[in-house]
Amino acid sequence: MQICCRLQAQGKDNAIGFAMSEAMVRKNLMGSDVEVDGNPGEATLNLKRDGFLMTAINLIKKGLLPISKEEFQRGCIEGYFKPRAEKLSLELDVEYTDEGYGIKISKK
């Protein structure tokens, strides 16, 4: 079962459910420093220090990942976060930071 379908089945296919789901994955899988705030209609996912991005930065510095940090960040948002959000009829407004993202999530 796809993640989006699981979120819908659990009744978490809203802004805060999406933010909490992503925060748990990032925190538990990569040790990211995350904060979530909001409600079902609008939420903020603050990835203050994203573990995936920190790993990418280390690989970029070693010459093992032939893209820029900014390209990696855009790829994460455009290739991962936005498609998932769109399946749940959510919109994202993203602020890129040195070590992560500030993502505002709202219903379309």
Kindly report, residue by residue over 63-102, the tens digit of the pLDDT. 999 999 999 999 999 999 999 999 999 999 999 999 999 9
**Residue 12, both tokens:** 């978490």
Domain around 62: 3-107
Position 55 pLDDT exceeds 90: yes
- Nearest CA among 43, 46, 26, 24 for reference residue 35: 46
According to DSSP, the β-strands at 33-38 and 90-96 are unpaired
Top pLDDT among 3 and 32 is at: 32
- The tally of domains found in the chain comes to 1
Mean pLDDT of 5-29: 80
Instruction: Work out the percent of the chain whose per-residue pLDDT is above 90.
Output: 87
- Nearest CA among 49, 52, 51, 69 for reference residue 60: 69
User: pLDDT tier at 4 (50, 70, 90 boundaries)?
Assistant: low
Q: Please state the φ and ψ torsions of residue 43, each to the nearest 5 degrees.
A: -140, 160
Which pLDDT does position 108 carry in this prediction? 87
Distance CA 106, CA 83 (A): 14
Mean pLDDT of 24-30: 94
Distance CA 42, CA 54 (A): 27
For residue 54, give the H/E element and its range.
helix 51-61
Residue pair 95/102 in contact (Cβ under 8 Å)? The answer is yes
